[in-house]
Amino acid sequence: MRILQLDKETKSNILEDLLKRSPNSYSEYEDRVAAIIAEVRKNKDAAIFSYTRQFDGADISADNLVVTEDEIKEAYDTVDPTLLAVIRKALVNIREYHEKQRQYSWFDSKENGIILGQKVTPLQRVGVYVPGGKAVYPSSVLMNVVPAKVAGVSEIIMTTPPGKDGKICASTLVAATEAGVDRIYKVGGAQAIAALAFGTESVPKVDKIVGPGNIYVALAKKAVFGHVSIDSIAGPSEILVLADETANPRYVAADLLSQAEHDEMASAILVTTSRTLAEQVSKEIDQFVAVLSRKEIIQKSLDHYGYILVAENEEEAIETANDIASEHLEIVMRDPFTVMTKIRNAGAIFLGTYSSEPLGDYFAGPNHVLPTNGTAKFFSALSVDDFIKKSSIISYSREALESIYKDIVQFAECEQLTAHANSIRVRFEDQ
């Protein structure tokens, strides 16, 4: 794995390189995605059935589009009982963490008759997209569904592409059932996003779409935003490890590769103040890559988006981490908690030797749906907040309004909005 001395030019080149992985950089696919969306809007069920035959090789119709109770029972019979136990343990942790994010309506009243407040309302119907095919991520099912359930969403539906046999991965079905999904539809790709956004004869329109997917799914979510809400337009996975000479090089190497195996466009970066650690980690990576099952994907990821950066000091290392704003940030340093207080931009922060990134992916409780491609500078992890709306509450008595109505009239007339001014003035035209 390449080792570079960190300087302004190196950092600038890396940041530019990383941004090329954004779904926004793949405009050549947008016309194709737009055509799929238009076809689904026009022909509804017929379009999604046609695209499912074309892209997934499955013969899906209105009769078998929705996963049945028998199929779910078969999935439970198929899944390893020990995996089911792990899913249930993880669910407890994820639910407990997200319950602490729950928000409540509030009201504040004053003696002169003013009542101000905020009404918190869960979304009514949410669609969760789950990848299929080679990608099987029951953990993502849990992470997308649980905060919606905690928020109080009335109906959660899921779409996922079927295999050629028309079936859905058993672990995905079990995870969805355990998490509380109401209905599961056998449709994937951009056509599933269009169906969720606009509705078909069989698939109901939702208020929000969440969940990861390939470039077609990402661009479809981008295209339908505004018709519905979305969680984000996710890019390839990322990890940045901040480490000093106290870090275990074997552990650091293993953690970097945990993300590199996701995708050829995944990014794995070590920023360290120790040249010795940099060289040790590079050697460990070579040894791991030689024996890991996804070594071809890992090697391409490292060749294109893998870096070991040697910083002059801790301040430069921290500044670089903030500039990159990685999806996952591990801090493996002498005093990780103090360093954490200086981090402004990161999707999730893992502190210390035994807090490796997969702990967050599967089990600890915090959400693993995180901002990518530098968007951690202004976006947050998926949370209960993503599944609620906030309405402002305003109530004034005549007495309260009378004391300030002339101020409002002046403000409205300053903006030449005379109907606004009149709406206030008319209530006191006898004065």
Catalytic residues: 327-328
Asked whether the beta carbons of 217 and 197 are under 8 A apart, the reply is no
The sign of the CA dihedral 232, 126, 184, 40 is: negative
Give strand pairing partners of 276: none
Measured in residues, the chain has a length of 431
The radius of gyration of the chain from alpha carbons, rounded to an integer in Å, stands at 25
318, 336, 338, 349 from 341: Cα distances, Å: 10, 9, 5, 11
Asked whether the beta carbons of 302 and 285 are under 8 A apart, the reply is yes
Strands 183-186 and 208-210, sheet pairing: unpaired
- 272 backbone dihedrals φ, ψ, rounded to 5°: -135, 155
Asked whether the beta carbons of 299 and 289 are under 8 A apart, the reply is yes
User: For helices 81-99 and 170-179, what crossing angle results, to 10°?
Assistant: 40
The distance in angstroms from the start CA to the end CA of the chain is: 80
Whole-angstrom distance, CA of residue 336 vs CA of residue 340: 6
Asked whether the beta carbons of 23 and 218 are under 8 A apart, the reply is yes
Q: Is 226 exposed, middle or buried (0-12, 13-18, 19+ CB in 10 A)?
A: exposed
Which residue has tokens 């060289």? 279
- Three-state DSSP state, 126: strand
